[in-house]
Structure 1
Amino acid sequence: MASETPRPPSSGDAAIDSVSVLGEELRRKMFAFVRRARRPVTRDEAAASVGISRKLAAFHLDKLVESGLLRAHTHGPDAARKVGRRPKVYEPADAQIHVSIPERRHELLAGLLLQALLTEGEDETGAQAAARVAEQRGREQGEAERARARPGRLGAERGITLCERMLDEQGFEPVREGPTRLRLLNCPFHPLAAEAPGLVCGMNHAYLTGYLRGLRATGVQAVLAPRPGECCVELRRADAPSG
């Protein structure tokens, strides 16, 4: 079997890690100070804002950088500094961090719906355009996963395994029911899915169908199988009986 490139942590795990860094009070106060400053902040300024040493402030600031909450760069030239390196300064990172348990991905759904609205053809309904866009996004992701994993020939079980990892990263909470059947315990688009089940379930089905096509996992199919409190789609071996 071809080796696979290591996958980055899921966005949900990364968000939880980032937020957990703010559990330390001094770190949280310095982060708030940097955000409110609206300009690059030096270690000395951050240290003074919470009344600690520059060395301890540097430790906490670097933790905030590692977690993706701040970014650091050198500031210069500094006329007051006659010798030595230019001081490091800190600013808020551009990333927006959201934590939801169970995971919700409303921004993804909104982006797909906006793209569908902007590209809707004269012969399409809104729901058809949304399904088309979702299928295209899924197919692109499946193609990217196939290029990354280089899986060779995909049987049903291998195809299910690759899909399981992607679905876990996206918050669907996949659970195996046998080697070639995958239930999805969470819908990342809830509660919107409850308000428009035909639209959202159709997009979910189109997205996963497109992903399988891009992955070329011909032995696996996405089927509508709604259950209360779960995603309306599950994955099965293509020749598996329904029910």
Structure 2
Amino acid sequence: MLADRSRRALYDYVRHQDHPVGRDEAADATGMSRGLAAFHLDKLVEGGLLRAGYQTPAGQPRGRGRTPKVYEPAGDGVAVTVPERRYELIAEILADAVAADPDDSARAAERLAQERGQAVGSGLRGRATPVEVLVDLGYEPAPQPDRILLRNCPFHALAARQTALVCGLNLAFLRGLTRGLDADLDALLVPAPGACCVQLRWGQSTALPYISPSGSAISSTRAPSGS
């Protein structure tokens, strides 16, 4: 369904918007005719990747006649991974944690996740912006004036099964990543439907307490070295 380049472009555009998208908007955004955009959008609905409804598109006054058709993502029920998931990262961290400390593998996994994130960030420091790094890691970042929202969880299926464990490791990884990048960002657990459980907030590196995945608070925002 997504092998067609035009169809993939439309799908990517619709799923990155925070509102239902009309045919005119989708056509303008992807540089194709309205008729071709409508054809591909309806094919995506038939394939279960989008759902359609009727309402006045955002920012347009309601006029006479039939309400325009709009499209939005079908949701988590669709088995499509765009962007790719990164389950191997969690698997490697957990396997190394069990090998390193069988008696307290959860704490070892938290430490290793942060170390792994810091190593990734350090390797990319000065070569890419935090947003570019997050894009490459599959988080689908949405920068806001005071924070970076993460629309996608690269560990979605595992987080659904073991929420506390996986979200805790995700938090530790992102804290390590921001340290490695030397970015003025703090990672916080902010669970929200249809998004990653972590948000990154700008300029909070000295204002917020660090909350470890195990739930204990540490006086400084940044986790102590080696924790």
TM interval, short-chain normalised: 0.5 to 0.7
Report % sequence identity: 44
**Residue of structure 1 aligned with 2:161, choices 192, 195, 198:** 195
Q: Is residue 225 of structure 1 aligned with residue 158 of structure 2?
A: no
Q: CA deviation at 1:210?
A: 0.6
CA distance in 1, matches of 2:187, 2:82: 25
Query: Equivalent residues in 2 for 1:32-51 (5 A)?
Result: none
Q: Deviations over 1:169-223 (max 9, x none)?
A: 1111111122x41000111111110111111111111001111111222x21111
Match in the other structure for 1:63? none
Q: CA deviation at 1:127?
A: 1.9
**Structure 2 stretches lacking a partner, 5+ long:** 5-79, 209-227
Match in the other structure for 1:115? 96
Match in the other structure for 2:149? 183
Q: CA deviation at 1:121?
A: 6.5
**Structure 1 stretches lacking a partner, 5+ long:** 1-15, 21-98, 150-161
Tell me: higher relative CO, structure 1 or 2? Use CA pairs within 8 A at least 6 residues apart: 1
Match in the other structure for 1:36? none
Q: CA RMSD in A?
A: 2.6
**Would you say how many aligned residue pairs link Structure 1 and Structure 2?**
132
CA distance in 1, matches of 2:163, 2:81: 21
* 3-state SS in 2 of match to 1:113: helix
Q: Give, as a single letter, the amino acid of the residue that structure 1 aligns with 2:85.
A: R
Relative to the length of structure 1, the TM-score reads 0.49
CA distance in 1, matches of 2:144, 2:126: 28
Deviation beyond 3 Å, 4+ runs, structure 1: 238-242
* 3-state SS in 1 of match to 2:188: strand
* 3-state SS in 1 of match to 2:148: strand
Match in the other structure for 2:76? none
Q: CA deviation at 1:107?
A: 1.4
Q: CA deviation at 1:148?
A: 3.8
Q: CA deviation at 1:229?
A: 2.0
Q: Give, as a single letter, the amino acid of the residue that structure 1 aligns with 2:193.
A: P
* 3-state SS in 2 of match to 1:115: helix
Cα distance, 1:191–1:215 mapped onto 2, change above 3 Å: same
